[in-house]
Amino acid sequence: MNVKKVDHIGIAVKNLDEALKFYKDILGLDCVGTEVVEEQKVKVAFLPVGDTEVELLESTAEDGPIAKFIEKKGEGIQHIAFRVDSIEAAIEEMKENGVKMIDETPRYGAGGARIAFCHPKSTGGVLVELSERED
């Protein structure tokens, strides 16, 4: 598997508009767009930082994974995503190395990415996302 870079850091927030005030007004980051990913019950804001980005994640449903994360742990870093060359090859390599996968086949992610999540029980408690997208 070839990990190219940290693709993004996903941060769970209760209110996207309120969170953007800090990231835009205080940190000076630009929001280059938002997207709703119905399958994941989330609205995402994209804030590039160098060659990676921060993704702010607001749940669009009370039973969505971001809502459940915030209920359990509060707002904050929810996952880290690594850009890979081939999502299928990365999933297979993870499985061959005993890493439990949440997604054993790729699914659609924000920004047109093909993604798969590794289970935190196999990654030292960190929700790791594998992400394949065009550069």
Tens digit of each residue's pLDDT (9 = 90 or more) over 100-121: 999 999 999 998 999 999 999 9
The pair of structure tokens assigned to 119 is: 């289970």
Whole-angstrom distance, CA of residue 104 vs CA of residue 87: 10
- Give the number of C-alpha atoms closer than 13 A to the C-alpha of residue 126, restricted to the C-beta side: 13
Please, which residues bridge with residue 79 across strands? Answer: 10
Question: pLDDT (tens digit, 9 = 90+) per residue, 13-29?
Answer: 999 999 999 999 999 99
Q: What is the pLDDT of residue 134?
A: 81
**Cβ atoms of 95 and 101 closer than 8 Å:** yes
Closest CA to 118 of 99, 93, 92, 90: 99
In the numeric block, the tokens 């994360």 are attached to: 69
Q: What is the pLDDT of residue 48?
A: 97
Please state whether the predicted TM-score (pTM) of the whole model is above 0.85. Answer: yes
Which CATH code fits 3-132?
3.10.180.10
Low-confidence ranges of the chain (pLDDT < 50): none
